[in-house]
Structure formats: structure tokens, C-alpha cells
Amino acid sequence: MAVSEGVLLGMGNPLLDISAVVDDDFLAKYDIKLNNAILAEDKHLPMYDELANKSNVEYIAGGATQNSIRVAQWMLQTPGATSYMGCIGKDKFGEEMKKNAQAAGVTAHYYEDETAPTGTCAVCVVGGERSLIANLSAANCYKSEHLKRPENWALVEKAKYTYIAGFFLTVSPESIQLVAEHAAANNKVFLHNLSAPFICEFFRDAQEKVLPYVDYIFGNETEAKIFAKVRGWETENIEEIALKISQLPLALGKQKRTAVITQGADPVIVAEDGKVKTFPVILLPKEKLVDTNGAGDAFVGGFLSQLVQGKSIEDCVKAGCYAANVIIQCSGCTYPEKPDFN
């Protein structure tokens, strides 16, 4: 089925992944460890330009929501079916981000901050293993004023489905609220992600405000357990937690909520209408695994690509598992030219 232009909108923190193969001396110089993910400190800051000057450097548009939107766009293969908003800086990395979104077929309306540089994530690769160093920077500067501009609000009006990951709660809860309320008032679908244990733990109030508007909530087993723990639910049973999340109160105009919890190589759990279903994932032999960076984002992207076409929950989960399986066989959140999903 053909999808309408701009049917799916995402908002989030755009980070440019700067990925390069380095050596042990480079790791030692910047005091970084493989298989680690950290936030940048002052000592790491010169590293970004050094990576950018390497001959094998790859620029990959990253950030959780942007990854999901790009994967949905790739699965749909209809130019302009998706759009995205977030904040970048006025610099060469910002230009890379714009080029990357355009090449992916995503309509991106970036808010360009005059003072902060574009958020980046350094991806240092040695022998196929990677270390991530994230610097939010401009991504942290998104303002709801940008969203309210007519040319940007038009993307909200056009979209029938809007996805915003939990990470954006730390940046612009006001923007999330505006979009969530619009969706409720106009019978549209609003999707959200638990995103990280620290969001569930330390941004609970912001999360609570958004949840009544959420039609589909995604998360993984670790996030689901923390979500339950901070609410004193006294259970670590993921099926039980998924069911309880699906049954939390709904805003006026919302009919039901579906909770979708992934568990790595274990089955995906879907709770809706008071029932729980599980779906097996596609298992991948160890030797084919490149990195799991972006697997959860890709799952959401695959899921969304079918949901916007009105497909069944089974088809949505199947597409999510397919997309995640492809992404873990590529570096970062990248994919082959065309999907092979049916």
C-alpha cells in the first residue's frame, strides 16, 4: 500500500556518529576502552577533529529517534514518507547531518543553534570492537519555538504517526506535550520509548506526563524492570510489567495502549487488550554479528514501517525483528541499499 507524504514524524536528539578504525595508541591517547559507551569529558574534545581527519572516517547520522526514522524510511522506500526534527549546530557536522538525512529520503527540519556545535558520537573501532563517546551539545538546545513555526508545525499536521524516544524528555518536554496533545485531539497515533534506565529513574515526572497520550510504548527488558521498580510494582516478570504498562491510565480520546518490550535474543513481548503475546526473534550466528549499536532503534523503525501501512501487530513485530537483524550485521545504524522484507 502506498503511504502518504510525511505520514511518520520523529523528534529527538540528532547526533552525528563519527566512526573510524583507530589503533591502540589512539585509545591510550584519549584514555578510552573498547566496548564502552560514555559521555565526553574535556580530555576527549580534540579527538573528534582527529577522527574527522582520518582517511577511513564514516559519517553516519545517529541519535535514537533519527535512527528509527531512517530505518522506517528505508523499509518504506517511498521518498519523503518520513520527517524529523531536532537541533544541530551551524557547522560542518551539521552540514553532514543534513546531507545524510537527505540521502536517506527523510524530510529533516533541523533547528540550527547559533552557539552550540552539532552533537556527535565518536565511534572508535579496533578489531571490530567499538567504543562510543557521546557529546550532546546542540541536540540539548531544541526549543518548542522552533516546533511552533508554521513550516515545522505543518509536519506535525501532516503526520498520522509521531514517534519520540524518551531521550528527548531531557531536552524539550514542552515540545513532546504539544505533539502528544495534538495527536490525542486529532485521533492520531503517538509512540514513545522508555529509552534508558536513567530516563525511567530520573525523569519519571516528565515521563508520567506523556504516558497517558502514548498509544504504543517501546522498551527493552532492563528499562521495563526499572520502570516497574520505581513504581513499586514488586515484579521482575516482563510479561506482567508489559501488561501493567499497557493498562496505565489513558488521556481523553485515547482508546488503548500497546506495550512492546524487546529482550535481545529472547522473544519480543506485546501486551494489549489485557492479553500478552510473545514473538521469537531471528537468531544470528555469533560470527555474523558486527555490532549491536542501533538494534533497538532499528526494531522500532521496522515496526513503524508496517504500522503506518495499517498492518497487523504480527507483521509489525516481524518487520522490527528483520530490521534489527540487518542492522547488527552492519557498522552503526547502517543498512544495504534495499530491504529484502516481505
Q: What is the pLDDT of residues 77-116, one digit of tens each?
A: 999 999 999 999 999 889 989 998 999 999 999 999 999 9
Out of 64-68, 285-289, 305-309, pick the least confident. Answer: 285-289
Indicate whether 35 pLDDT > 70.
no
Average pLDDT over residues 143-160: 97
Average pLDDT over residues 280-304: 84
Q: How far apart are CA 210 and CA 206, in angstroms?
A: 7
Indicate whether 33 pLDDT > 90.
no
In a domain, 337, yes or no: no
Domain span at 234: 8-14+63-118+138-328
Within the chain, residue ranges assigned H as helices are 24-29, 47-52, 64-76, 92-104, 144-148, 150-158, 173-185, 197-202, 204-210, 221-230, 238-246, 295-307, 313-327
In a domain, 293, yes or no: yes
Report the chain's mean pLDDT, rounded to a whole number. Answer: 92
Evaluate whether 318 touches 312 at the Cβ level (below 8 Å). no
Q: How far apart are CA 92 and CA 69, in angstroms?
A: 22
| Per-residue confidence (pLDDT) for residue 128, from 0 to 100 | 66
Average pLDDT over residues 130-139: 85
Q: How far apart are CA 102 and CA 123, in angstroms?
A: 22
pTM of the entire structure? 0.89
| Per-residue confidence (pLDDT) for residue 38, from 0 to 100 | 67
In a domain, 270, yes or no: yes
Indicate whether 294 pLDDT > 80.
no
| Per-residue confidence (pLDDT) for residue 171, from 0 to 100 | 92
Q: How far apart are CA 266 and CA 253, in angstroms?
A: 34
| Per-residue confidence (pLDDT) for residue 145, from 0 to 100 | 96
In a domain, 33, yes or no: no
Q: How far apart are CA 122 and CA 16, in angstroms?
A: 8
Average pLDDT over residues 205-220: 97
| Per-residue confidence (pLDDT) for residue 199, from 0 to 100 | 87
In a domain, 143, yes or no: yes
Out of 78-92, 122-136, 275-289, pick the least confident. Answer: 122-136
| Per-residue confidence (pLDDT) for residue 289, from 0 to 100 | 73
Specify the CATH number for the domain of residue 255: 3.40.1190.20
| Per-residue confidence (pLDDT) for residue 1, from 0 to 100 | 60
Residue whose C-alpha is closest to residue 162's, from 138, 191, 141, 137? 191
Query: At 207, is the pLDDT very low, low, confident or very high (cuts 50, 70, 90)?
Result: very high
In a domain, 29, yes or no: no
| Per-residue confidence (pLDDT) for residue 308, from 0 to 100 | 98
Number of domains in the chain: 1
Evaluate whether 257 touches 289 at the Cβ level (below 8 Å). no
Average pLDDT over residues 159-181: 96
In a domain, 157, yes or no: yes
Show which residues are catalytic.
297
In a domain, 48, yes or no: no
